[in-house]
Amino acid sequence: MSISIQYRGQITDRADVQALTEEVEDIAKIMRWPCEVVDESWETPPDAHFESIPGAGIQIVGHTGLKGICLHPHPRCEPLWFVFRSDGIMSSPFLLALDAGEGYPPKRIWLSTETQAAGPEAHTAIARLLHRIKNRYVHDLEVRDPSGFWESGDENRLRLFFDALFAITRS
């Protein structure tokens, strides 16, 4: 078992993607989190897919048609994607490329960021950022948090959860 926060949703107003990107970029600078802005055209349909590149392995190639921002909250944590398809659904380049064979259907897919190796501080910061995103931009945001921190906000409970899982994995 690992500790991951899963999330999915659709931006309430597509016109707010730029504001969300700028706000999250400002937060990333304050937190000293590396980030990348993604700004591809929504006017061109996506054609992103996986391709085997000699010497480089499997790569995502083509146009994703995604807009938003990707954060790297901790060196031992998976990226946190706040990027949106032209229909406003949250996605990532990887998830979009997975949908190539189905013609990029408008389905809400769970994104995930593993926080176990990054620790409870990173987990707390990510959950708080997700609350901010839900309150301001993605009102239907759904979050799954096995620690219960998303629902409770109880940092002591979160630390106990991390400690218990660490003890189990060491056994």
- Cβ 131 vs Cβ 4: under 8 Å: no
pLDDT at 32: 96
pLDDT at 170: 53
Q: Where are the alpha helices (DSSP H) in 37-138?
A: 93-98, 120-136
pLDDT at 169: 54
Strands 90-91 and 80-84: antiparallel
52 SS3 class: strand
* pTM of the full structure: 0.90
Tokens of 23: 């706000």
- Owning domain of residue 85: 4-170
Q: Which phi-psi region, left, alpha or beta, contains residue 97 (left: φ > 0; alpha: ψ -120 to 50)?
A: alpha
For residues 4 and 114, give the distance between their C-alpha atoms in angstroms, rounded to a whole number.
4
- Taking only the tens of pLDDT, the chain with its 171 residues reads 578 899 999 999 999 999 999 999 999 999 999 999 999 999 999 999 999 988 888 999 999 999 999 999 999 999 999 999 999 999 999 999 998 888 888 889 999 999 988 888 999 999 999 999 999 999 999 999 988 899 998 888 888 888 777 655 555
Number of domains observed in the structure of the chain: 1
| pLDDT tens-place string over residues 124-135 | 999 999 999 999
For residues 139 and 4, give the distance between their C-alpha atoms in angstroms, rounded to a whole number.
21
CA-atom Rg of the chain in angstroms = 17
The dihedrals phi and psi of 31, each to the nearest 5 degrees, come to -80, -10
pLDDT at 168: 55
Own/partner pairs for 102-107, CB < 8 Å, 24+ apart?
104/45, 104/46
For residues 112 and 122, give the distance between their C-alpha atoms in angstroms, rounded to a whole number.
14
Nearest to 10 by CA among 94, 129, 145, 108: 108
